[in-house]
């Protein structure tokens, strides 16, 4: 997979040299190109922003540097044999980034990211490239960052670990929380390793029992407990048919009850902790 990133802070993308993404690059699975947007400015101050038409606070990133940066990056990539670029535009007004979108992007041969600062990029730039390429505007969550660079790191890491040959084995993704079809989309429960006792804290007996059926059941119960606590919406979203008899018992203990519609809803509790 080829990745291009156009940014006014190339050094912000340094983490792409480290850890999992760094290894994917070293192995030749990922071909990363970071470009400095200011290379395509021609005034003394390397201006990339200007005041917004219609007034209002903040600044807007100018069309011309982005147009030249994207034309050049695209030409370089095509020349190197890349094809079918997808323009990924990080923006808090984009479509939510999910594991499903990560899986989808991991099948693309070429992603071109346009992290913006200020109030964003002049809309005409996105509209112009949308006539030629697939454009996906993506938000990584319901909060506002000062710029899209951190979002590029997040998206890249989520995508890179799905590429063939990056993680140890394909099995590794199957149980990911949020993996499509993962245990009814529950959050994963706690994990433990040696030593068997630490500061007076033991390992749950069942994990030492060697009884694989009991261990799987305990892990699922833990997953339900954690999901009920942190993401009850994930349980409410599941079809009731995803739950077996023991699941239903656990759900009842956790305060969920089946509705005629076929889903489980949490009974209102006296005090939400």
The only residue of 22, 147, 189, 258 in contact with ligand 6GU, by rule CB under 6 A? 147
Question: Each residue of 56-94: b (16+ CB within 10 Å) or e?
Answer: eeeebbbeebbbbbbeebbeebeeeebeebbbbbbbbeb
Query: Quick check: 151 binds ligand 6GU (CB under 6 A)?
Result: yes
The only residue of 148, 160, 162, 250 in contact with ligand 6GU, by rule CB under 6 A? 148
Query: Quick check: 143 binds ligand 6GU (CB under 6 A)?
Result: yes
Cβ-Cβ contacts under 8 Å for 173 (sequence gap 6 or more): 161, 162, 167, 179
Q: How buried is 117 (Cβ within 10 angstroms: 0-12 exposed, 13-18 middle, 19+ buried)?
A: buried
Query: Quick check: 145 binds ligand 6GU (CB under 6 A)?
Result: yes
Catalytic site includes residue 71: no
- Nearest to ligand 6GU of 144, 270 (CB atom): 144
Binding mask 26-55 for ligand 6GU (x = CB under 6 A): ------------------------------
Catalytic site includes residue 25: no
From residue 262, alpha-carbon distances to 241, 243, 244 in Å are: 8, 11, 13
Contact 8, 48 (CB under 8 A): yes
The only residue of 92, 189, 232, 258 in contact with ligand 6GU, by rule CB under 6 A? 92
Binding site listing for S-adenosyl-L-methionine: 140-145
Q: Tell me the catalytic residues.
A: 92, 119, 161, 176
Q: Which residues form the interface with ligand 6GU (CB under 6 A)?
A: 90-92, 138-141, 143-145, 147-148, 151
């Amino acid at each position: 997979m080829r990745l291009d990133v156009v940014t006014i802070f190339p050094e912000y993308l340094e983490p792409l040299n480290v850890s999992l993404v760094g290894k994917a690059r070293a192995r030749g699975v990922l071909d990363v190109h970071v470009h400095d947007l200011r290379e395509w400015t021609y005034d003394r101050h390397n201006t990339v922003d200007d005041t917004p038409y219609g007034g209002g606070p903040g600044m807007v990133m100018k069309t011309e540097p982005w147009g030249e940066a994207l034309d050049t990056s695209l030409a370089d990539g095509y020349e190197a044999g890349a094809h079918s670029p997808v323009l990924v535009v990080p923006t808090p007004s984009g479509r939510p980034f999910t594991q499903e979108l990560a899986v989808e992007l991991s099948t693309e041969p070429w992603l071109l990211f346009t992290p913006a600062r200020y109030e964003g990029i002049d809309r005409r730039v996105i509209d112009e490239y949308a006539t030629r390429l697939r454009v996906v505007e993506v938000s990584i969550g319901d909060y506002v960052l000062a710029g899209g660079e951190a979002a590029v790191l997040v998206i890249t890491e989520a995508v890179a670990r799905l590429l063939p040959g990056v993680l140890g084995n394909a099995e590794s993704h199957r149980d990911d929380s949020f993996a499509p079809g993962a245990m009814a989309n529950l959050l994963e429960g706690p994990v433990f390793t040696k030593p068997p006792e630490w500061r007076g804290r033991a390992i749950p007996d069942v994990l030492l029992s060697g009884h694989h059926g009991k261990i799987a059941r305990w892990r699922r119960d833990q997953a339900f407990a954690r999901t009920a606590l942190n993401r009850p919406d994930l349980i409410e979203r599941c079809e009731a048919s995803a739950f077996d008899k023991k699941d239903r018992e656990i759900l009842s203990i956790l305060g969920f009850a089946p509705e005629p519609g076929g889903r489980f809803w949490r009974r209102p509790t006296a005090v939400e902790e």
